[in-house]
Structure 1
Amino acid sequence: MQNFVFENPTKIIFGKGQIPRIGKETARFGRRALLVFGMGTILKNGVYDQVTNALEKAGVEIVDFPGVKSNPVLSHVQKGIALARGENVDVILAVGGGSVIDAAKAIAAGVVAHHDVWDFFTFSKPVTGALPVLTVATVSASASEMNAGAVVTREDGCQKYCIVSPFIQPKVSVLDPTVLFSLSPAYSAYSAVDIITHMLEGYFNNTSSASPLQDRLVESLIKTVMESTEIILKEPDNYDARANMMWSAGLAFNGLTTAGMGQVRMPAHMI
C-alpha cells in the first residue's frame, strides 16, 4: 500500500423520506438556488415537488435550470452559468443522476471564473473557487454525488474531458433509495455496469505491489451490486436492493477503493 491522503467531506443524508431535509441544508449555504435537473423525469415522479416544497419552507428562492441530457454538453453548461450570474444565485442544487450533477459542478465553477469554463477542462486554468453544490441523487451510477469530479462534452470536436477539484465536491447529498423504484430495468442494469466499471479501473490498473484490502473491498462491492441488480430486475421496488445499490455506487468511486493504490489509469473513459 502506498502513501495517500483520503478526504471526503460530503455530508450524506441517506434513507427513505429524507428529501425534505434538502431545504434546510441548502439554506445553510445560500438563499437563492439554481435548481439544475434533466429532461423532466423528476416532474413526473414527485421528486421536483418534494425538493421545491422543502426549499420554499426553508426560505430559499428557486431558479429552475432544466434540460441536462445524458453526457452533459458545454453549450448547456454555459447557458447555466449565464443564468446563474444573471439571477445572482449563491448556491447550486442538482437533482438527478451523474450527468445532472456534473453539469451543476461545472456551472458552480464557471460562475465565479473570469474566463471560459472550458479552460478548466483543458487544464489551461485551475479551478480556484466555486459556488457551493448540493445534490439530491435520483440515479446511482457515477458517484458524482460523493466525489470531486465532473465530465463535460464539447460538441464541436466531440471532446469529452473531466475536471477534479475539491471546490466542486458536493457539500451535502441526499440519497433516498425509493426514488430509484421508477428506474427502468435497462437503466438499472446500465447503472450496475457503470458502478462496476469504475471499480475495475483501479482494480486492474494501479501501481501498488500489494493491495489485499482494496481488492477485497472492490470484490465485495461488485458482488453486492451484482446480487442487488438481480433482485431489482425482478422486484424494482425492493427497498433493500435499491439501498444497497445506491450506497455501493457512492463507495465505488469516492476515492476509497483506490486509496493507497498509487497511480490509477482510467481506460474505460478512453474507450
Structure 2
Amino acid sequence: MFKSPLFGRKKTTTRPFADFYNDWSTTLATTLLPQLRRALSSFPVSPAVLCTHVDAVYNHFHAYYTALDQAAAADVAQCLYPDWRNSLEKPFLWLGDLHPYLFTNLLRSFLEDQESSQDENDDFGYDVASARESLYTSWHVAAAWRSPSRALTARVDQIACGLRLMVPALAARARHAQAKLVRNVGAEWGRKEGVLKAAVAEAMATEMEELVGVVVDANRLRRSVLADVLSVTSVYQAALFLEAVAQFLVGFRDEKLLREFDKCERLSLNYAN
C-alpha cells in the first residue's frame, strides 16, 4: 500500500532493517543463546557469570527495539508490512514485532508448569523428574520456578492487566490513523495531478507520523514488559525466561520447520480452492 512513489517516504542512506535483523538474529542464535545455555548448564552455576549473560541477552533485545524505532521513523511501512519476515514469523506480529502477550504467556507457562508439577508431587509423594533433573543441573536452576513468590505472581498479574489496557488502545490508534489516511486521500482523489500529489503528501505526512508513534509506543510496551519481568525475577528465573524467548525467536529461522510450515500452508490453500 505504501510502496508506490506517491506514498513512499524520502529515501535514506541508513542500513536496511532487514539486514540488521538478519545479523541480530544470527548473533542471538550463534553467540548469545549458546553462551547463556552454557552458563545455565555449568556446575556449579556462577550467579555473577549468569547475570552477565542475562544482561547481554536483555541488552541485545533492547538494542533491537531501539533499531526498530529508528526503522519506523525512516519508513514505517517496512515495520507494519514487512515483506522481509518469513511465513513463520508473520502470524505472531503485532504492530511491527512480536505481540507482547507472547512474553506474558511464556512467563505464565513457567508458573503453570510448576503448579502441574506440584499437583503430581502431591499425588505420588516424590518428584522423580525433579530428582533426575537435579543430578545434571544446578539446584538453583532446577528449582528456579518452584514455589514462586506471591510478589512474582502478583506482578505477573499486574503486567497482564496493563497489557489488557494498552494493547486495545494502541490497536485502536493504528486503525484510526489508517482509516483517516484512506478518508483524506479519497477526498482529494478527484483533483488535478499536481494538486492531488501535494494534498496526498500532506495527508500522508500527518498520518504516517501517527503510525510511527504507534509503532514506537508498541516497542516501548514490549521493552517495558521485558524490563518488568527481569525486575521481579531472580537471575535464575530471568535466565530461563530469556532462554525461552530467545529460543522462540531462533525457531523462526529453522529451515526444516519453515519448509514444513510452507508445505502445510500450500496444501491448505490447495484444499480451500
Same fold (TM over 0.5): no
Q: Pick the structure with more helix per residue.
A: 2
Normalised-by-shorter TM-score class: 0.3 to 0.5
Give the TM-score taking structure 2 as reference length: 0.36
Q: Which has the higher contact order (CA 8 A, sep 6+)?
A: 2
Larger Rg computed on CA atoms: 2
